Chain A
């Protein structure tokens, strides 16, 4: 569903990510784990079509995101690391913008209602986004990514700023999406979240994926009992 083939990106000559090859299969949650500045967000942004890779390709359900961005983006639900939205529009208007952009029909109202109820956002939906807390903005972005029922989710630190209750709800929602057959590509630096949620994990260090596999495979490779320990060994 999502394939990154040898992607490389440098900013002002400084290489941010290099030779990234990964695949997120149908109905799989793939987590990319790394320290601050390892290249997680750059990888996510390239996969979401926000940044253009210097070399390499990203395929979303077989569609090249650089060559045919519109069709590729139709299949993606993206949540950035620290979302900033338009302060002067309401949460509902923001979701309606998304629904219209993805040409959703009458289903839009149904899914807006469904997800806002689950994430306890219904009461605040007609307030301007400028009055929202950081967590509420994060929840709104997650709802925005979910409502158009994408095939691929690209979520950059999706639970950042969420309280434990809503973190649990989001995790449940992602598991449901996985069951539906959607692929989830998420980044995190919280090892426990990756352990609990992901089918496969890629550890990124200094812009390169240094190890990839299921939690069991990674633990076996480093002869560790916990993922945290394995992560520490992997990044040296």
Chain B
């Protein structure tokens, strides 16, 4: 039974991939090119880190820990979306099968998916090594540790998503217990001896029994939502859609998530500031700090604007009928949704400033960074909106979130546009500061124009979407 379900899931996924490849061959090819490029980039960065010994933030074992962390986050999100919030699970739970076994099937399914992803990554890496020569120092032990990290991350992430559905103390205790192997993993890899790392897999098995036994109860909790709010609220703003989206952002704790992102970025900036960086060449030394600052801006803006705007239509898949029957212009609807998303844009724009101050940047450079962040806010929002309306994810189980291939393409496109929109004015700034700032202001104007035009075009595209 378990294997039948598992094979059904795998066959469905393969069919889905085939369908996507057939439907969007260019997007798929583009995704492959980008994947190759990313692996090359990572190997180059790793090699640079090996050569420049004084960058302590990148070490081989820290990469292992990051792999575990990545798979933990991925599994937690996927189990929540694909299992705990999946109406189709009703059918499986009604079958004469114990929930312990059903849970096992979901864990195995997640392991198979993660292992496939891991295998693809490794294949590309091997391909790179063959093409470029065996220059990347990967040992057999390193591979074993990487696979262990993938498995450990999957088990912890699955367990976290189950405990996150509970209320009260059990929720927090369970989540902390689920994350415990990850904490131990860090200590083992960094402080004790990496050879003991695989033993953690045995330790993580204790995470299996309780979530497995309570699996069906947790699923029920997720599907039938509890009313967490009772009472009346005022709808803000003249635009009805803005008012609705704002209210939803508050109630769905999206605003809390955005605030946490800001705090996280600022803490990460403090960490980076505390980390000593010594660079071999003077010219690189001049650039490395502003680049670090802009990487934080990229990260914050991509998470806050690009990814959510890519879900602008997908998230409304089931409520699309409501928007379609409102006597409102499509432009008004899109504008309202974009405005609700851009609410925290002024705060996001100043997110890189603390690091600028900590690095003692001159005032004119801080102004340049601030203007560059504003430019990126407009451009990233326009790109997110484009993909959100042109390529919405209308798959029932996706919760409207952009699919990995589209998201990847959008994020790389953002990076390219960021290089152009910030790189050119920065180049001018290096020759003439005043002119550089003016060029950046001009780029910000162009960015706002791009967003304005994108809202106009999106209204037309959105009109053609049929759910």
Contact = CB atoms under 8 A, between A and B. Distances in A.
Contact of B318 (A48, A84, A88, A130): A84
A85 B322 contact: yes
Contact of B466 (A51, A86, A89): A51
A97 B243 contact: yes
Interface in A58-108: 69-71, 73-74, 76, 78, 80, 83-90, 92-93, 96-97, 100-102
A186 to B, nearest CB: 16
A49 B466 contact: no
B232 A73 contact: no
Contacts of A49: 324-325
Contact of A70 (B233, B240, B248, B329): B329
A102 B327 contact: yes
B126 to A, nearest CB: 40
B327 A71 contact: yes
* B contact face: mostly helix, strand, loop, or mixed: loop
* A contact face: mostly helix, strand, loop, or mixed: mixed
B319 interface: yes
A67 B248 CA distance: 32
B229 A86 contact: no
B240 A101 contact: yes
Interface residues of A, number: 34
Contacts of B235: 93, 96-97, 100
Q: Place the interface of chain B in its size category.
A: 20 to 34
B452 interface: no
B327 to A, nearest CB: 4
A76 B325 contact: yes
B251 interface: yes
A100 B327 CA distance: 10
A69 B462 CA distance: 14
Contacts of A101: 240, 326-328
Given A86-B248, A93-B247, A74 B232 contact: no
A131 B243 CA distance: 21
B355 to A, nearest CB: 35
20 contacts: A48-B325, A52-B466, A69-B327, A70-B328, A80-B321, A85-B319, A86-B248, A89-B251, A92-B232, A93-B232, A96-B235, A100-B243, A126-B230, A126-B231, A126-B232, A127-B227, A130-B225, A130-B226, A130-B227, A131-B225
